[in-house]
Structure 1
Amino acid sequence: MIKYTEASHINPELLADPFWVESLSQVSPEHTHDFYEFFILTEGRCRHIVNGAAQLLQSGCLVFIRPDDTHRYEADGDSDCRFLNIPCRKSLINDAFSYLNEEEFLHGILNTPLPRIAMLSQLEMDDFIRSFERIRMLSTLDKVKSRIYLKGILVDTLTQHFFSPETIEQPEFPLWLEHAVSKMHLKENLNKGLHALYELSGRSAGHVNRAFRQYLNQTPTEYINQLRLNVARNLLLTTELRVVEIALESGFDNVSHFYHQFKKYYHQAPLDFRKNAHANRLV
């Protein structure tokens, strides 16, 4: 069993040391550590095997790992994923807990068999990532300001996303919804879109829409667009297909709509994304 330590895994000048994991091919085998850790899936899905149980994670899942939790990551079908990992020193988290000083919250987050998961909306996820990207930047310019900003973001994250009845008593993910979500990654279903999702669920459109809001914190349309954009991203990175071909391959029947959604999600046009990714690999 691998055990990571603060001394080996976190920059000695920092309280937290965020980094990106671009693919499941980059993750560690089963391991534990003596520090706390947040990670958030920003693309794709995976199975999180933790303390002997499996958690199905989707884009937007923010997970809080405690010291001595034992975990690893596995592919869910043929899906890959990308996530931001944030190792945090025990002293940082303990100071935040002391500041919050809520026994019920501490019990609900520390004394459960499995780590807690918060489901963030796209806007919440974007804000979360921007905050920690800013911390990464500040840590190279002004470490004192970086530490102060980090403490504020950490307390806000814990109270906003984990200090709630929905998080402490997390509802069980329905099997019918897990089945529908897993089958939507198949190309034929992704091309059909909402029609396939409703058909796979065996539930009314209204029921499915409410379940997506409750368990995934997004609409079915947002979820399908996200899946299609993940496919488009992989095609841009691994093929020389033209943008119009990629749009069609990923389930978009309108190239203009594809451009709009891609730029909204990745903050750059598809060809710029491909060019910048290629340039970064050459650096």
Structure 2
Amino acid sequence: MIKYSEVSHIDSELLADPFWIDSLSKVSPEHTHDFYEFFIVSEGSCKHIVNGQTQLLGPGCLVFIRPQDTHKYERNEDGDCCFLNIPCRISLITEAFAYLNEVDYTDGLLNAPIPPIAMLSQLEMDGLIRHFDRFRMLSSTNRARARIYLKGILIDILTQYFSTSETARQPEIPLWLEYAVSKMQSKENLNGGLPVLYKLSGRSVGHVNRAFRQYLQQTPTEYINRLKLNTARNLLLTTELRVIEIALESGFENVSHFYHQFKKFYHQAPLDLRKNSHVNRFLQ
């Protein structure tokens, strides 16, 4: 079993070391570590095998890993996953819990059998990622200010996203729901939309809708739209297909609806995202 150490992985002055993982081909095999970490899934989906159980993760999932957790990542069908990883020194988390001074809350987060998950909206996820981008920028110019800024981010994360008992005791996703969600990753099933999802679940429409709210904190329609938009984004960044072709390839029958949903989700038009991506690659 691989075990990572905060001494070798996290700057003792900055207390955290955020970094991006852009593919599951670059993640470590099953491992543990003597520090805490958060990670945010920004694109794609994956299976998170932790403490012998499986968590199905998608965009917006924020996970809190404790030192006693043993985990690894696996591909979900043929998909891939991109996420921001934030290793944190034990002293940083201990100080945050001492500041909050809530024993039951702390025990709920630290002693749950599997790590708690918070489901962030697109705006919340983008905002949190921007905060860590700013922390990384400050860490190269003013380390003391960066450390103070980091502590503020951490308190916000704990109070906004992990402050409820429901979050601290994240229920295990039932196998039928994991199966249905996994199968929806394929193009054929995704293009079939809600009827295919309900058929794959083998449950009533009402039962499926309630399960999505309970376990994934979103509706089936929101989940399918996210998958379609994520597919469209990947095609925009990796191909030269026209927008109308990408819309159809991603399962949108109405191009106008695709434009509206894409701009609402990513806060920019499809071609603007492609253009900005090309500019950023040129500047790197």
Q: TM-score, normalised by structure 1?
A: 0.89
The separation in 2 between residues aligned to 1:82 and 1:140, in whole angstroms, is 24
Q: 1:52 corresponds to which residue?
A: 52
Q: Secondary structure at the match of 1:94?
A: helix
Structure 1 CA distance for aligned equivalents of residues 176 and 26 of structure 2: 31
Deviation at 1:163, TM superposition (A): 2.9
> Aligned-pair distance for 1:213?
2.1
In the alignment, the residues of structure 1 paired with residue 251 and residue 18 of structure 2 have an alpha-carbon distance, to the nearest angstrom, of 33
Does the alignment pair 1:191 with 2:191?
yes
Q: What's the secondary structure of 1:244's corresponding residue?
A: helix
Contact in 2 for aligned 1:43/1:82 (Cα 8 Å):
yes
Q: Aligned-pair distance for 1:263?
A: 2.8
Give 1:266 deviation, angstroms.
Answer: 2.8
CA distance in structure 2 between the aligned counterparts of 1:176 and 1:70, rounded to whole angstroms = 25
C-alpha distance in 2, partners of 1:104/1:133?
32
Q: Paired residue for 2:252? A: 252
The Cα shift of 1:245 comes to: 0.9
1:31-74 CA-to-partner distances (Å, cap 9, x unmatched) read 22222100011222111122333322222221111124222211
Superposition CA RMSD, Å: 2.3
* CA contact 1:28–1:72 (8 Å) conserved in 2: yes
May I ask how many residue pairs the two structures share in their alignment? 283
Distance 1:158 1:267, change over 3 A: same
Q: Does residue 1:173 correspond to 2:211, yes or no?
A: no
Q: Distance in 2 between matches of 1:26 and 1:267?
A: 29
Shift of 1:193: 1.5
Measured in 2, the distance between the counterparts of 1:274 and 1:200 equals 34
Contact 2:105/2:165 (<8 A) preserved? no
Cα pair 1:24 1:73 within 8 Å, conserved: yes
Segments of structure 2 that go 5 or more residues without pairing to the other structure are none
* Shift in CA distance, 230/68, structure 1 to aligned 2, threshold 3 Å: same
| Residue 65 (structure 2) pairs with residue 65 (structure 1) | yes
CA distance in 1 between counterparts of 2:214 and 2:134 reads 30
Q: Which amino acid aligns with 2:60?
A: G
Q: Which residue of 2 is the match for residue 130 of structure 1?
A: 130
Q: Identify if the C-alpha distance between structure 1 residues 68 and 176 changes in structure 2 by more than 3 Å, giving closer, same or farther.
A: closer
Question: 5+ unaligned residues in a row in structure 1: which ranges?
Answer: none
Give the conservation status (yes or no) of the 8 Å contact 1:259–1:270.
Answer: yes
Q: In the aligned structure 2, how far is the partner of 1:215 from the partner of 1:52?
A: 18
- C-alpha deviation, 1:130, in angstroms: 3.1
Q: Deviations over 1:8-44 (max 9, x none)?
A: 3224541222222112122122222222100011222
Q: In the alignment, which residue of structure 1 is the partner of 2:104?
A: 104
The 5 A counterparts of 1:1-283 are 1-281=1-281, 283=284
What do the CA deviations read for 1:221-245 (whole angstroms, capped 9, x no partner)? 2211110112112222332222211
Q: Residue 22 of structure 2 aligns to which amino acid in structure 1?
A: E
CA 1:128–1:188: 2 relative to 1, 3 Å: same
Q: Deviations over 1:91-130 (max 9, x none)?
A: 1111011112222222222233322222233343333323
Any idea what SS the aligned residue of 1:241 has?
Answer: coil
TM-score, normalization by structure 2: 0.89
1:278: Cα distance to partner?
Answer: 4.1
- Native 8 Å contact 1:45 1:58 kept in 2: yes
> Given that residues 119 and 215 in structure 1 are in contact (C-alpha distance below 8 angstroms), is that contact kept between their aligned partners in structure 2?
no
CA distance in 2 between counterparts of 1:281 and 1:30 reads 32
Give the SS at the match of 2:170: coil
Instruction: Note if contact 2:112-2:169 (Cα within 8 Å) is conserved in structure 1.
Output: no
**1:120–1:217 Cα contact (<8 Å) kept:** no
Deviates more, 1:37-46 or 1:124-133: 124-133
